[in-house]
Homo-oligomer: A and B are copies of this chain.
């Protein structure tokens, strides 16, 4: 018995990745696709400029695109994945939840709300219980869970693996791929033979989302005091894969070897899209690298490497595929968690 799912914002870059991941998914069946007004009523093949590196699945191609409106989505859809622009998401996502839909959303709106669980299943699955608070407060039949920003997802699992050492201060510099900005987000003239040391709001997301993800949930409320992070974000000329340099200062003595062991032993989950090894730790000092390592674990693993002593603590690098582990795959994983936890 598969779960019928819908995709809100199905024509965008993340929407296309969602289709690529959900089409062969054994538990989910794509039953509805929505997009903006200009696409409404068109066959998906005509509405989307398909850019993913595998052909559009035939059934998807023939599906008629619906409006992004609760009335336009069939009632027997059990789960919605949302990759709407945040301004649109802020407006319409709550309406879907009020109408009873359960939603796993990649959109940034509402991520920091106190009653919306922001979840990386391998890191803080227990935060999902915030949904009870959410339903109480909002009176929703539906429910909304969010996944973090792509650059946050890249390094938070490594911090979670080190949390037992008492993280005090974290510095992180990101080298982010162009796909993180969407298909039209970065022009070629901006980025060929160049790098841009600025991505709007990105540093705030890294700093605030990390704090929430690693915060304590006591069953009633969530502290936002997980970890103090100072982030610096850069766009570089890579297609996929965010690479990050991380410095960590901990209360307890934290050697590179201990950190490597903690990362390797940090458990993955049995969810279908969770990789066998969550954090792959390289011995080679020059790894991970975006083009070489972004597809580890079918794009769902975190790669780490270069663990070394720093002037002020520990230093390492990490990498994740930003449109799989960092976006579409993150949402699918949250959908799988919702299914396992009985929310569907």
Is the CB–CB distance between A179 and B169 below 8 Å?
A: no
Which residues of B lie under 8 Å from residue A286 when comparing CB positions?
Answer: 196-198
Instruction: Give the residues in chain B near A190, CB-CB below 8 Å.
Output: 188
Chain B residue nearest in CB terms to A172: B173
Nearest B residue to A232, CB-CB: B245
Is A289's beta carbon under 8 Å from chain B?
Answer: yes
Taking the closest CB of chain B, its distance from the CB of A281, in whole angstroms, is 14
Scan residues 228-247 of chain A and give those whose CB is less than 8 A from a CB of chain B. 228-230, 232, 234, 236-239, 243, 245, 247
Copy total for this chain: 4
| 19 other A-B residue contacts (CB within 8 Å) besides A186-B189, A195-B289 | A169-B312, A171-B171, A173-B173, A184-B189, A186-B188, A188-B192, A188-B237, A191-B192, A192-B237, A194-B291, A195-B290, A196-B286, A197-B287, A197-B305, A198-B286, A207-B311, A229-B311, A230-B315, A239-B291
Q: Looking at the complex, which one of B178, B237, B285, B292 makes contact with A236 (CB distance below 8 Å)?
A: B237
Q: Is A295 part of the contact surface with B, judged by Cβ < 8 Å? A: yes
- B178 touching A230 by the CB < 8 A rule? no
Q: A192-B188, A311-B230 are in contact. Are A173 and B245 (CB under 8 A)?
A: yes
- Docked-complex contact B237 and A237, CB < 8 angstroms: yes
Contact, CB under 8 Å: A189 / B290: no
- The docked-state distance in angstroms from the alpha carbon of A5 to that of B191 is 33
A53 proximal to B (CB < 8 A): yes
Q: Which chain B residue has the least Cβ–Cβ distance from A317?
A: B197
Q: How far is the CA of A123 from the CA of B256 in the complex (A)?
A: 35
Q: What chain B residues lie within 8 Å of A236 (beta carbons)?
A: 175, 195, 236-237
Most buried by B among A53, A191, A194, A310: A194
Q: Are A189 and B179 in contact (CB under 8 A)?
A: yes
Q: Which 8 A-B pairs have the closest CB atoms?
A: A173-B173, A198-B286, A232-B245, A230-B311, A194-B291, A197-B317, A178-B188, A193-B193
